[in-house]
Chains A and B, each alone.
Chain A
């Protein structure tokens, strides 16, 4: 059931599905929060105040000091980092959590390597079949905090190239029903980001254009009875 459109690029609605949210993002919504708690949902409140304060807010898990950070210097590093983080989850908790953390982390790191880091003219540096190493001036930092309730993931790259228009285009291509959507772009259709949005509960993207991009998300560790609680936030920072 849809609620009220509060501002042109903020949707807070009672409860809806991820494909419905993707459609709203394609339509221009940079801040989307689906909640079955309505106005009592403190996270929905954060989403709205975040818009007003231009991203100057933190979700509770972002304040976690136990987060561990490692640097990825090459495409080969990706697999080592993934293995370490997924092993750190241990065997406790919902099996789906480990699958989601593995999938989301792989997609976010791959996005950072193959799409985040670009040439001066904005063109991609690496094709997906390449196994590149980063230049000294480039970096990708991966962080994770494993908490009893869930896992906070954060991937930062030194590119700052992820525009909201890129996300709109990718989401449109992915959610739209039909056979000709995904294969149109050989070298990345934003599918990884779309999959991360689908699997994580709260996805947040902060972009400092030309400087850095931070993509972070929250994955529940225990089963969530109602998967309609989720959010998407895109902030262009200065």
Chain B
């Protein structure tokens, strides 16, 4: 009798385990169905990311996490408490780079960046941090918003459906006036088509910039939304903003200076040709330039770009959510997500990968500091020479070297990877910068046999 009982109990347990497994398999099968539930209808006029988030909760959840403030060795940001006042209601800001390295203040003397420059925070803060920066002590145009707000619909409304017209209208407005026309930091609609969810370019400046860049490579009439591949788009949508730019003329048109190519010397040659300067240096009178976060240009020179790895592959790596592969919309440093960002391709321990990155960055930072010191020497020398009444020829030559040295240095300094996006290119640029600074100092000295080769 007991034997019967035990055998029955065992059979029952097997049946229970079998059923549990069956249900588990069924759940897994369900996961693989229904890629998304259409809860709301999205149109080309839906701006609020929370509405998009109803259809795409996983992506929205990641997007909302860009409020995180985490440091890496050379980047990221720290959340510092601040007492809000009438002009600036922020209670938390990032650390000041000007305080960390006062040489920056001298490099940018006379320019708005010498007033206030903090470590960049995540996408969520882009509009707030621009709205309240003390750089507004110098008047700024509406063109700034191209990359600090969701401007697609603002452009569309201002241009009566034509985003290029709207772009041209908003660019020259005073910042405060243009600021009334936008509501969000970058949102879904800036990169995605509302009906197909495909990536698309919404910024006129990038459409024009990439067309000019492709033309310089012999490809005429390039239409990025027509001609780019999906994998290219996974970098191009980022390159709508993470690039070097300037505001052209009185109309303050946002232009990416790529018609001669996108390497630092091509860009400088472009500026030299049109004799553009961002400002006159307060200490030396040199017609200088400010390089702005040229991530796309630097990445283009590196091994990852060469291997077809897109921005999104490392900064928004695929993650598994249930049965689905979803791009992580928590855009951040790959150093904070090495498993997904690096180890998909690089099969080495996390610690080793991190050390490799830090090795590259430490070397770049060392060179950057040398270049910064060289630039400070040059600025001091020009100041002294001007005070001593040196010849205008030698001063002009030294000023031009300052323009070069400073732009090259800033091209790496302002670039948000501390050299990682293209290590050797960054080192090359910094070596050139040091060379320009020292040549500038030489230009102020009486010519001798050894100096004459310059």
Instruction: Report whether chain A binds chain B.
Output: no
What is the interface of chain A, defined by CB distance below 8 A to chain B?
Answer: none
What is the interface of chain B, defined by CB distance below 8 A to chain A?
Answer: none
